[in-house]
């Protein structure tokens, strides 16, 4: 527009738009004109940039109450009053319908609290081991071995793997082995401390982000006499971390090590927890066999160079063991997997990644969603049900002139306020429950005060509130006031169906959870009470500390003299998992490619008797025969694998020795019941045992342990007497399942309670709505029980429907879970009947409370008006 | 209320400038005129606010003038002094004169301190 001969630059349009937005309409023209004129003048005098800047400044200077338009131009003048009115009505309706309010508050807040707890647990699990600075490059070397036609995966690899990978693979920047993570005794003068330590490679602190507070990461483990300790250990031993480096401490009363560094305690979200590290070289020097490529001992971690091709590396290292052993050991392949992934994805089935802890993370995430869903359904059902009662309110408001948006705002505000209140209660609940929850989960969770958590939970709450409020907000507010006030509107069929469908969904979820609890409980019980093939009760064991030949026998002989001790012996196993195995046993007719490994169990005399293992054939080792040390005992699985039909007296060759089979023991479970019983062999070699086991007379535990302890102290002064009970250790193998069992019990309980709360609310509402009908029926001669039957019939149908849907689903889910166990309990049919019946009974009870009350009403009372 | 009718110093200047500009007294022109005559920096927005205040007090009357090219097509608000505005100015001037006359001559004739 206008004069095209002279060019007029434009003032910044954002500023102009801003001015037009805020400025009163009667003033905007003159102000804009003045500013425009000024701008043009300034462009000539001071240049475009300055003029634009000054223009902005001017616009801002006009941002003044005299110029800002009043909002009343757009909103009704009683806007604030309306808001106050809405809030007032909300609180009034809370007050008036107290039961609904409490049902909503209890249901929603416990649902939110469960979700919050699970969220905390899940985020903690997901963050495990991710704190290492170079997490993306940090990998762990894993090994598949062929065993009985299947691939078995473990984290143990040959001792020289780390060194070889660094030397031969250009992709690898650093590699470090780690071995022997266990409790040891450290002493400073007279002071003995139990501490967890391990042997690690020189570059350990370069791979992992366990920051060294003192010492240099490339130097601390350079020397074989070096020990690096944690801050806490330093404080425990010395009371300070000052001037600790350079001092010497004693390890296992055997060896002295010099402190070369102090590292910060491993954070809680590290799966590797330790107090000190020693050089891996010590381990290699003392155990020459560990450098053999045919044996697998340490875990090995590698740090790949940035951008390294992991697939190519995996292909290259797959046959590393085969090459190093000149094709002698060809059944073991190596591969690397991201270190931080191993925590959640640690299980392998026949060489394929098959879940791990992630299964439980997923399980609980689903449970959290279930519970929140159940709570939301309550909320929605009750608010839609109540909403129809507010039709008149809607009509009156609309007649007076309330706009649809104002009504919608009121309903949404009401439900959002409710949800927010519940969130506040939920946060309180979580604070209260966290200590117990931590005890069950074995974690140290806390409620963090970070924005992301707050935002995600506010979002969930807001969503819940909006969802629940959306029906009345959008549907009811659209009614024609004249019709509503005349009472011409009936509840729509679709709405009824939705409500019923939601109840069915709620109960379906609850029943699934009930069945799951039963199944998990059954399996845990089965595992605890299964005849393992040996007697795990009253057996106490502790690590051997003295390796002098002959001393162990003396100690055992003394121990047997203690009156409460039934038997004492030692073994090279702990009965709670795979320890060490060999494929070196040879027999006539063995397939040369057979690499099936036999679990090795060196024992002292009496060990098999102590464990109560039953003999199938032959006899156990006996002092009466001096030649028993050249004999061997197998378990049934081993004999079956070897294929001997009449094994006693036949011989096998192991290493350089020919061993005669002395007996066959019945299979017993030396690993968790997730595993099949594997071949096992026993031979008499007290010197190679490392675990001393003692069978105690039941009922005399305290005195006997005290006597044993004093005996231990006289034999091994300076070593703390640190024992375990075999049955407790056995149970701890199923810690994860125990946790799931306990937690699912609680969560299922909460889900059922929340569902019932919802049902209770609905039943109360229905009874109230049908009060007149009930009155008329009673006048016409209907009995109390007829009324109860009438009112609970609907709910019974819903619950039955839920049972029908839930049972097949839960059966399928239970089967899937049990497949993870090699030895499973059977799911008896009555579990499903019981779960269904339980749901039905609970529902009846809940509804019954209301219906009986309704049925006993005096018809004159409810029919007298209208 | 006498308080309200009292003219502030800046108000007086603005009011007088409106008079000077006679038929082209609008925001920016008034600002320019004041800057030139008094040799002091005044901002457009403060002049605007004063103009609005004076109009509220009834000393000024305004109407929208024609749009011009140099203003990008926007109208200007043209101000004229109302009778009560003139009264207020006169009153202010008389007050000042009275004060001047009340100052004894000797004050002016004694030498500088």
* Minimal C-alpha gap between B69 and chain A (Å): 7
A287 burial (CB, 10 Å; 0-12 / 13-18 / 19+) is: middle
The beta-carbon neighbor of A36 closest among B48, B64, B74 is B74
Buried-state track A378-401, b at ≥16 Cβ within 10 A, e below 16: bbbbbbbbebbebbebbbebbeee
How much is the average pLDDT of A192-200?
Answer: 88
Q: Residue A71's pLDDT is what? A: 58
Residue A2 near chain B (CB below 8 Å): yes
A30 interaction partners in chain B (CB closer than 8 Å): 26-27, 64, 74-77
- Contact: A30, B75; criterion CB under 8 Å: yes
Q: Residue A141's pLDDT is what? A: 92
Take residue A491 and report the two structure tokens written for it.
Answer: 């509840």
Run of H or E including A353? strand A352-353
B64 interaction partners in chain A (CB closer than 8 Å): 29-30
The beta-carbon neighbor of A36 closest among B26, B64, B71 is B71
Strands of A769-855 (E only): list them: none
Per-residue pLDDT tens over the stretch B46-66: 899 899 888 888 899 988 887
The beta-carbon neighbor of A33 closest among B43, B45, B75 is B75
* Minimal C-alpha gap between A482 and chain B (Å): 48
Residue A65 near chain B (CB below 8 Å): no
Around A316, how many Cα atoms within 13 Å sit in the side-chain half-sphere? 13
Q: Does the pLDDT value for residue B2 go beyond 50?
A: no
The beta-carbon neighbor of B75 closest among A3, A29, A37 is A29
Residue A44 near chain B (CB below 8 Å): no
A8 interaction partners in chain B (CB closer than 8 Å): 72
Strands of A555-679 (E only): list them: 565-571, 581-582, 585-586, 598-603, 615-618, 631-635, 651-654, 657-665
Per-residue pLDDT tens over the stretch A204-258: 998 898 988 888 888 888 888 899 999 999 998 888 888 888 888 988 888 889 9
The beta-carbon neighbor of B72 closest among A30, A33, A64 is A33
pLDDT band at A139 (very low <50, low <70, confident <90, very high): very high
Sign for the CA dihedral angle at A273, A275, A280, A282 comes to: negative
Cα separation, B30 vs B48, whole angstroms: 9
Run of H or E including A445? none
3-state secondary structure of A257: strand
Residue A22 near chain B (CB below 8 Å): no
B69 interaction partners in chain A (CB closer than 8 Å): 2-3
Q: Residue A301's pLDDT is what? A: 93
Average per-residue pLDDT for chain A: 83
Number of structural domains, chain B? 1
Angle at A366 between CA A432 and CA A461, to 5 degrees: 55
pLDDT band at A397 (very low <50, low <70, confident <90, very high): confident
Residue B108 lies in a domain: no
Residue A24 near chain B (CB below 8 Å): no
Residue A548 near chain B (CB below 8 Å): no
C-alpha to C-alpha distances, A334 to A162, A300, A330, A639, A690, nearest whole angstrom: 12, 11, 11, 30, 29
Q: Residue A73's pLDDT is what? A: 47
Q: Are A383 and A429 in contact (CB under 8 A)?
A: no
* Minimal C-alpha gap between A78 and chain B (Å): 27
* Minimal C-alpha gap between A66 and chain B (Å): 8
pLDDT band at A124 (very low <50, low <70, confident <90, very high): confident
Residue B63 near chain A (CB below 8 Å): no
β-sheet bridge partners, residue A138: A303
pLDDT band at A7 (very low <50, low <70, confident <90, very high): low
Residue A16 near chain B (CB below 8 Å): no
C-alpha to C-alpha distances, A776 to A237, A490, A790, A854, nearest whole angstrom: 85, 20, 14, 13
Helix/strand/coil (H/E/C) assignment for every residue in A398-424: HHHCCCHHHHHHHHHHHHHHHHHHHHH
- Contact: B48, A62; criterion CB under 8 Å: yes
Q: Does the pLDDT value for residue A6 go beyond 60?
A: no
Residue B73 near chain A (CB below 8 Å): yes
- Contact: A1, B73; criterion CB under 8 Å: yes
Q: Does the pLDDT value for residue A168 go beyond 80?
A: yes
- Contact: A66, B75; criterion CB under 8 Å: no
How much is the average pLDDT of A511-528?
Answer: 80
The beta-carbon neighbor of A32 closest among B69, B70, B74 is B74
* Minimal C-alpha gap between B112 and chain A (Å): 43
Q: Are A312 and A296 in contact (CB under 8 A)?
A: no
- Contact: A64, B45; criterion CB under 8 Å: yes
Run of H or E including A226? strand A226-230
DSSP of A30-88: HHHHHHHHHHHHHHHHH-HHHHHHHHHHHHHHT-STTTBPPGGGTS-TTHHHHHHHHHH
C-alpha to C-alpha distances, A419 to A216, A327, A429, A506, nearest whole angstrom: 54, 67, 15, 19
Poorest-confidence range of A434-438, A641-645, A732-736, A762-766? A732-736
- Contact: B27, A34; criterion CB under 8 Å: yes
Cα separation, A669 vs A550, whole angstroms: 30
Cα separation, A251 vs A279, whole angstroms: 13
Residue B72 lies in a domain: yes
CATH code, domain with B11: 1.10.10.10
CA of residue A211 relative to chain centroid, distance: 27
Cα separation, B93 vs B15, whole angstroms: 13
Cα separation, A57 vs A38, whole angstroms: 12
Per-residue pLDDT tens over the stretch A32-71: 888 888 888 888 888 888 889 889 888 888 888 778 876 5
Whose CA is closest to A670, among A520, A567, A536, A820?
Answer: A536
Cα separation, A110 vs A390, whole angstroms: 28
- Contact: A34, B76; criterion CB under 8 Å: yes
Q: Are A22 and A42 in contact (CB under 8 A)?
A: no
Query: Which residues have a Cβ under 8 Å from the Cβ of A322 and sit 6 or more positions away?
Result: A329, A330, A332
B48 interaction partners in chain A (CB closer than 8 Å): 31, 34, 62
Q: Residue A345's pLDDT is what? A: 85
Cα separation, B2 vs B16, whole angstroms: 20
Q: Residue A2's pLDDT is what? A: 40
Torsion of CA A261, A265, A270, A274, to 10 degrees: 70
Take residue A770 and report the two structure tokens written for it.
Answer: 């049908």
Mutate which: A34, A35, A51, vs B, most B CBs within 10 A: A34
* Minimal C-alpha gap between B96 and chain A (Å): 31
Whose CA is closest to A339, among A135, A100, A608?
Answer: A135
- Contact: A34, B72; criterion CB under 8 Å: no
Q: Are A264 and A187 in contact (CB under 8 A)?
A: no
Per-residue pLDDT tens over the stretch A423-473: 999 999 998 988 888 888 878 888 777 778 788 888 888 887 887 777 767
pLDDT band at A4 (very low <50, low <70, confident <90, very high): very low
Take residue A211 and report the two structure tokens written for it.
Answer: 């920051």
* Minimal C-alpha gap between B30 and chain A (Å): 11
Mutate which: B63, B71, B73, vs A, most A CBs within 10 A: B71
Residue A782 near chain B (CB below 8 Å): no
Terminal Cα distance for chain B, rounded: 40
Take residue A161 and report the two structure tokens written for it.
Answer: 């793997």
Q: Residue A140's pLDDT is what? A: 92
Cα separation, A848 vs A859, whole angstroms: 19
Q: Does the pLDDT value for residue A309 go beyond 50?
A: yes
- Contact: B75, A61; criterion CB under 8 Å: no
Q: Residue B3's pLDDT is what? A: 44
- Compare A301 and A399 and report the one with higher pLDDT: A301
Sign for the CA dihedral angle at A149, A153, A154, A160 comes to: positive
Q: For A144, which DSSP code?
A: E
Residue A62 near chain B (CB below 8 Å): yes
Q: Residue A489's pLDDT is what? A: 57
Write down the pTM of the prediction.
0.66
Q: Residue A3's pLDDT is what? A: 43
How much is the average pLDDT of A79-95?
Answer: 78
pLDDT band at A779 (very low <50, low <70, confident <90, very high): confident
Per-residue pLDDT tens over the stretch A551-590: 888 888 888 888 888 888 888 887 777 777 788 888 888 8
Query: Which residues have a Cβ under 8 Å from the Cβ of A692 and sit 6 or more positions away?
Result: A541, A542, A543, A544, A552, A555, A556, A568, A569, A570
Whose CA is closest to A521, among A751, A845, A834?
Answer: A834
Whose CA is closest to A332, among A345, A317, A313?
Answer: A317
Whose CA is closest to A277, among A328, A339, A228, A326?
Answer: A228
Residues 24 through 43 of chain B touching chain A, CB cutoff 8 Å? 26-28, 43
Q: Are A286 and A224 in contact (CB under 8 A)?
A: no
Cα separation, A590 vs A583, whole angstroms: 11
Q: Where are the domains of chain A?
A: 13-69, 135-339, 359-526+735-863, 546-718
Poorest-confidence range of A98-102, A671-675, B30-34? A671-675
B47 interaction partners in chain A (CB closer than 8 Å): none
- Compare A656 and B18 and report the one with higher pLDDT: B18
β-sheet bridge partners, residue A186: A193, A251
C-alpha to C-alpha distances, A157 to A176, A293, A473, A722, nearest whole angstrom: 12, 9, 64, 29
Cα separation, A170 vs A157, whole angstroms: 20
Query: Which residues have a Cβ under 8 Å from the Cβ of A57 and sit 6 or more positions away?
Result: none
Residue B109 lies in a domain: no
* Minimal C-alpha gap between A9 and chain B (Å): 11
A66 interaction partners in chain B (CB closer than 8 Å): 49, 52
Residue of B nearest to A58 (CA): B45
- Contact: A31, B48; criterion CB under 8 Å: yes
A254 burial (CB, 10 Å; 0-12 / 13-18 / 19+) is: exposed
Residue of A nearest to B69 (CA): A2
Per-residue pLDDT tens over the stretch B64-87: 887 777 777 788 889 999 999 898
Q: Does the pLDDT value for residue A854 go beyond 90?
A: no
Residue A8 near chain B (CB below 8 Å): yes
Residue of B nearest to A55 (CA): B44
Over its C-alpha atoms, chain B yields an Rg (Å, rounded) of 17
Per-residue pLDDT tens over the stretch A345-384: 887 877 777 777 787 888 888 888 888 888 888 887 887 7
Cα separation, A301 vs A202, whole angstroms: 12
List the domain range (segments joined by +) for residue B61.
2-101
Residue B74 near chain A (CB below 8 Å): yes
Cα separation, A769 vs A765, whole angstroms: 6
């Amino acid at each position: 527009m206008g004069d095209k001969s002279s060019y007029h630059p434009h003032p910044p349009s954002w500023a102009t738009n801003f001015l037009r937005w805020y400025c009163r309409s009667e003033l905007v023209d003159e102000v804009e004109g003045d500013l425009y004129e000024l701008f043009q003048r300034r462009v000539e005098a001071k240049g475009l940039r300055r003029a634009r800047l000054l223009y902005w400044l001017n616009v801002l200077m006009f941002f003044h109450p005299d110029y800002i338009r009043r909002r009343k131009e757009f909103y009704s003048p009683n806007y604030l009053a309306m808001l106050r009115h809405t809030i007032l009505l909300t609180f009034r309706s809370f007050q008036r319908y107290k039961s609904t309010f409490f049902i909503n508050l209890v249901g929603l807040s416990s649902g939110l609290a469960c979700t919050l707890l699970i969220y905390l647990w899940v985020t903690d699990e997901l963050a495990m081991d991710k704190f290492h600075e170079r997490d993306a490059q940090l990998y762990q070397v894993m090994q598949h071995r062929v065993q009985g036609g299947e691939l078995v995966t473990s984290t143990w690899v040959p001792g020289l793997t780390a060194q070889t990978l660094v030397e031969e693979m250009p992709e690898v920047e650093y590699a470090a082995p780690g071995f022997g993570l266990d409790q040891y005794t450290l002493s400073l003068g007279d002071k003995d401390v139990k501490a967890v330590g391990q042997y690690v490679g020189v570059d350990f602190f370069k791979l992992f982000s366990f920051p060294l507070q003192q010492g240099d990461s490339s130097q601390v483990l350079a020397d074989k006499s070096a020990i690096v300790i944690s801050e806490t250990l330093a404080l425990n031993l010395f009371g300070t971390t000052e001037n600790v480096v350079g001092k010497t401490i004693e390890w296992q009363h055997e060896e002295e090590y010099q402190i070369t560094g102090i590292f910060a305690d491993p954070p809680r979200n590290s799966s590797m927890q330790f107090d000190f590290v020693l050089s891996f070289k010590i381990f290699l020097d003392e155990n020459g066999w560990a450098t053999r490529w045919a044996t697998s001992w340490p875990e090995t971690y590698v740090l790949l160079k940035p951008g390294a091709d992991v697939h190519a590396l995996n292909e290259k290292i797959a046959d590393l063991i085969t090459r190093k052993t000149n094709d002698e050991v060809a059944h073991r392949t190596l591969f690397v997997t991201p270190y931080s992934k191993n925590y959640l994805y640690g299980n392998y089935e026949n060489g394929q990644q098959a879940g791990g802890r992630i299964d439980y993370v997923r399980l609980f995430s689903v449970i959290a969603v279930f519970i929140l869903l159940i709570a939301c359904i309550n909320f929605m059902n009750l608010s839609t049900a109540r909403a129809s009662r507010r039709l008149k309110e809607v009509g009156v408001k609309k007649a007076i002139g309330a706009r649809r948006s104002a009504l919608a705002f009121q309903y949404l505000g009401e439900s959002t306020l409710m949800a927010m209140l519940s969130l506040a209660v939920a946060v309180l609940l979580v604070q209260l429950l966290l200590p117990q929850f931590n005890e069950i989960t074995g974690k140290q969770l806390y409620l963090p005060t970070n924005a992301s958590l707050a935002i995600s939970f506010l979002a969930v709450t807001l969503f819940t509130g909006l969802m629940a409020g959306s029906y009345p907000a959008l549907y009811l507010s659209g009614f024609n006031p004249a019709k509503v006030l005349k009472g011409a509107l009936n509840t729509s069929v679709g709405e009824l169906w939705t409500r019923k469908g939601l109840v069915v969904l709620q109960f379906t979820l609850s029943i699934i959870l009930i069945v799951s609890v039963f199944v998990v409980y059954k399996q845990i019980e089965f595992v605890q009470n299964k005849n393992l093939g040996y007697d795990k009760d009253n057996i106490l064991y502790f690590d051997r500390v003295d390796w002098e030949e002959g001393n162990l026998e003396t100690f055992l002989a003394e121990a047997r003299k203690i009156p409460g001790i039934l038997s004492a012996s030692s073994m090279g196993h702990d009965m709670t998992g795979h320890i060490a195995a060999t494929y070196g046993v040879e027999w006539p007719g063995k397939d040369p490619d057979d690499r099936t490994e036999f679990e090795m169990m060196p024992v002292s005399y009496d060990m098999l008797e102590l464990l109560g293992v039953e003999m199938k054939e032959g006899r156990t080792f006996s002092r009466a025969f001096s030649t028993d040390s050249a004999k061997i005992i197998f378990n049934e699985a081993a004999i079956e694998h070897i294929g001997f039909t009449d094994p006693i007296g036949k011989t096998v060759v192991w290493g350089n020795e020919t061993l005669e089979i002395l007996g066959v023991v019945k299979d017993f479970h030396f690993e968790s019941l997730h595993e099949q019983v594997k071949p096992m062999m026993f031979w008499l070699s007290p010197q190679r045992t490392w675990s001393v086991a003692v069978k105690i007379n039941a009922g005399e535990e305290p005195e006997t342990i005290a006597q044993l302890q004093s005996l231990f102290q006289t034999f091994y002064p300076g070593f703390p007497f640190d024992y375990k009970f075999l049955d407790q250790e056995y149970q701890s193998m199923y810690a994860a399942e125990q946790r799931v069992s306990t937690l699912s019990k609680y969560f299922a309980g909460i889900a059922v309670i929340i569902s019932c709360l919802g049902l209770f609310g609905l039943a109360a509402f229905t009874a109230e709505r049908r009060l007149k009908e009930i009155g008329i029926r009673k006048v016409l001669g209907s009995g109390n029980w007829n009324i109860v039957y009438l009112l609970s019939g609907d709910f019974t149908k819903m619950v039955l429907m839920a049972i029908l849907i839930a049972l097949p689903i839960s059966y399928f889910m239970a089967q899937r879970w049990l497949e993870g166990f090699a030895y499973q309990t059977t799911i008896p049919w009555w579990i499903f009947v019981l779960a269904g019946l339980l749901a039905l009974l609970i529902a009846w009870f809940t509804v019954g409370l209301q219906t009986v009350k309704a049925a006993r009403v005096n018809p004159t009372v409810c029919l007298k008006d209208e | 209320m006498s308080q309200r009718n009292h003219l502030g110093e800046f108000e007086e200047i603005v009011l007088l400038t409106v008079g000077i500009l006679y038929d082209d007294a609008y925001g920016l022109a008034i600002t320019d005129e004041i800057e030139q005559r008094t040799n002091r920096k005044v901002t457009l927005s403060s002049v605007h606010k004063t103009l609005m205040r004076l109009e509220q007090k009834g000393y000024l009357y305004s109407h929208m003038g024609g749009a011009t090219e140099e203003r990008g097509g926007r109208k200007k608000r043209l101000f004229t002094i109302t009778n009560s505005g003139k009264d207020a100015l006169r009153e202010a001037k008389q007050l000042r004169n009275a004060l001047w006359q009340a100052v004894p001559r000797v004050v002016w004739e004694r030498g500088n301190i």
